[in-house]
């Protein structure tokens, strides 16, 4: 009786471990996927041109410009806390091939576009 219960517990544990491994693999795969940021890049180019910008500055701009808000909502969870939005956007900007980090100011990265986006 006791042996059967231990075998059941081991089997359940194996199933849980397999499930967790699958979930972790799904999360890694999702994290590697790059969202389509073409609308955001076009908005940045339209507003800043060759100028420099920060992730936090883009989020502030989204409060007053609907186009930015819409473009950002495609790549960042706009319902997340402000710091999480800024961090997520900064990570995205640092990975985008069309964006270059040119400086760091007070712990915030400063970016500029590499080329044109329409």
pLDDT single digits (tens) 47-91: 998 899 999 999 999 999 999 999 999 999 999 999 999 999 999
pLDDT at position 17 over 90: no
pLDDT at position 19 over 70: yes
CATH number corresponding to 38-113: 1.10.10
pLDDT at 6: 86
Domain positions in the chain are: 1-33, 38-113
34 closest CA partner among 80, 81, 84, 88: 88
pLDDT at 33: 59
């Amino acid at each position: 009786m006791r042996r059967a219960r231990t075998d059941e517990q081991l089997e359940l544990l194996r199933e849980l471990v397999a499930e967790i491994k699958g979930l972790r693999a799904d999360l890694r795969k999702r994290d590697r996927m790059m969202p389509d940021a073409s609308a955001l890049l076009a908005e940045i180019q339209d507003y800043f041109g060759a100028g420099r910008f920060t992730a936090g500055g883009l989020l502030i701009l989204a409060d007053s410009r609907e186009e930015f808000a819409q473009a950002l909502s495609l790549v960042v969870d706009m319902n997340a806390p402000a710091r999480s939005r800024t961090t997520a956007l900064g990570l995205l900007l640092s990975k985008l091939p069309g964006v270059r980090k040119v400086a760091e100011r007070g712990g915030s990265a400063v970016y500029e576009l590499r080329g044109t986006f329409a």
